[in-house]
């Protein structure tokens, strides 16, 4: 019987496969989206997030391995007597070593890969791609839905009316915009600010996933249902899990209402402030004096 795989390695393997699958590299293994993230209980540590990617003992349908190229140098028939003994080759880095996970990816590289994107129909009407903005080493990332008219004009996320409210929320948390990172699920404005469609989210989400992987924040706050549903792979309504701690890879994830929703429903502001206070507690932040807007 093969030796049991260590739990920590199982988690690494599961996380890595989940990441590849989310990037759209599909043939690795079976669908994992069984929503078991919601069976986890809140505010345990990120390690407790054994997501639905956990290794199954059933046979996965793996593609046939390609024949391994023979990379070894031909061994001479006899070594000359004086030749030093060949040193053992250093161990090949494992695909699952934490340090080699797309180790040299950067926000700049992701932006370059995005290019002048035409991967989905949103490119037809956009003026500017809104990639994301803020501190690349932020402990806190806000993920919105997609740019509106102001963002499309300026190339920056959350700079319109909803953005002003988000800025006030960030400042009420004792932070400034430059301390956090702000981005969206789709990087081009949907016409008439409609909800992005599935194919648009599908085309754009690998870039968001790479951004989150590079920044690797302590906390991700999903602003509204589109971001929450995309990252959590769920169709549940946001009110079912708003304000609860969930896990997203090595980050803690909290979904709350979108600032645009708060502009239409100011009565929901206290609920969002409660959510943000939970975030502040995890990040060790003191609120700015005075009542938040």
Is 28 or 261 the residue whose CB approaches ligand URA more closely?
A: 261
Tell the smallest beta-carbon distance from residue 280 to ligand URA (Å): 22
Interaction residues for ligand URA, span 30-89 (CB under 6 A): none
What gap in Å lies between CA 197 and CA 220, rounded to an integer? 22
**Cβ-based nearer residue to ligand URA, 217 or 224:** 224
Structure tokens at 285: 């932040």
Least distance in angstroms from the C-beta of 167 to ligand URA = 11
Dist CA 31 CA 43 (whole Å): 26
CB of 224 to ligand URA, least distance (A): 7
Q: Tell me which of 134, 163, 190, 217 binds ligand URA, using CB under 6 A.
A: 163
Kindly report the number of other CB atoms within 10 A of residue 155's CB atom.
Answer: 15
Tokens of 232: 């959590």
Task: Decide if residue 142 touches ligand URA (CB under 6 A).
Answer: no
Which CB, 162 or 214, lies closer to ligand URA?
Answer: 162
Q: Is 134 in the site for ligand URA (CB under 6 A)?
A: no
What separation in angstroms does the CA of 28 have from each of 22, 87, 228, 234? 11, 35, 25, 21
Which span sits near ligand URA by CB under 6 A: 13-21, 120-128, 153-161, 267-275? 153-161
Residue 163, judged by CB atoms within 10 A of its CB (0-12, 13-18, 19+), counts as: buried
Q: Is residue 158 near ligand URA by the rule CB under 6 A?
A: yes
154 by Cβ neighbours in 10 Å (0-12 / 13-18 / 19+) ranks as: middle
Among residues 132, 134, 147, 196, which is the contact residue for ligand URA, using CB under 6 A?
147
Considering the rule CB under 6 A, would residue 162 count as an interface residue with ligand URA? yes
Is 196 among the residues that bind ligand URA (CB under 6 A)?
no
255 sits near ligand URA (criterion: CB under 6 A): no
Instruction: Work out whether 157 is an interface residue with ligand URA (CB under 6 A).
Output: yes
| In contact, 213 and 19? CB cutoff 8 Å | yes
Q: How far is the CB of 126 from ligand URA (least distance, A)?
A: 13
* Alpha helix stretches (DSSP H) within the chain: 7-22, 107-114, 149-154, 161-172, 198-215, 225-232, 259-264, 269-283
In angstroms, what is the minimal distance from the CB of 71 to ligand URA?
Answer: 48
Look up residue 146 and give its two tokens. Answer: 């997609």
Instruction: Give yes or no for residue 262 binding ligand URA (CB under 6 A).
Output: no
Measured between alpha carbons, how far is 79 from 85 in angstroms, rounded to an integer?
A: 9
Interface positions with ligand URA (CB under 6 A): 144-148, 151, 157-158, 160, 162-163, 184, 260
């Amino acid at each position: 019987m093969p030796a049991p795989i260590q739990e920590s390695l199982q988690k690494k393997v599961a996380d890595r496969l989940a990441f590849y699958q989310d990037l759209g590299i599909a043939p690795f293994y079976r669908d994992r989206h069984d929503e078991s993230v919601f069976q986890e209980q809140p505010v345990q540590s990120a390690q407790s997030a054994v997501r639905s990617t956990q290794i199954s003992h059933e046979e996965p349908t793996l593609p046939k391995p390609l024949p391994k190229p023979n990379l070894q140098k031909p061994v001479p028939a006899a070594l000359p007597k004086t030749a030093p003994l060949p040193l053992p080759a250093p161990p090949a880095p494992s695909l699952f070593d934490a340090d080699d996970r797309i180790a040299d990816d950067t926000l700049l590289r992701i932006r370059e890969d995005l290019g002048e994107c035409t991967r989905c129909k949103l490119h037809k009407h956009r003026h500017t791609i809104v990639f994301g903005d803020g501190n690349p080493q932020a402990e806190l990332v806000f993920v919105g839905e997609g740019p509106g008219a102001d963002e499309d004009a300026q190339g920056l996320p959350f700079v319109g009316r909803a953005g002003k409210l988000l800025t006030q929320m960030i400042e009420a948390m004792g932070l400034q915009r430059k301390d956090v990172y702000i981005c969206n699920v789709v990087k081009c404005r949907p016409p008439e600010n409609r909800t992005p469609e599935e194919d648009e989210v599908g085309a754009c989400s690998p870039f968001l996933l790479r951004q989150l992987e590079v920044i690797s924040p302590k906390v991700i706050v999903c602003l509204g249902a589109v971001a929450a549903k995309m990252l959590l792979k769920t169709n549940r309504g946001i009110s079912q899990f708003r304000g609860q701690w969930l896990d997203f890879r090595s980050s803690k994830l909290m979904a709350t209402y979108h600032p645009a929703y708060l502009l239409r429903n100011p009565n929901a502001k206290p609920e969002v402030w409660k959510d943000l206070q939970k975030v502040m507690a995890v990040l060790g932040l003191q609120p700015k004096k005075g009542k938040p807007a």
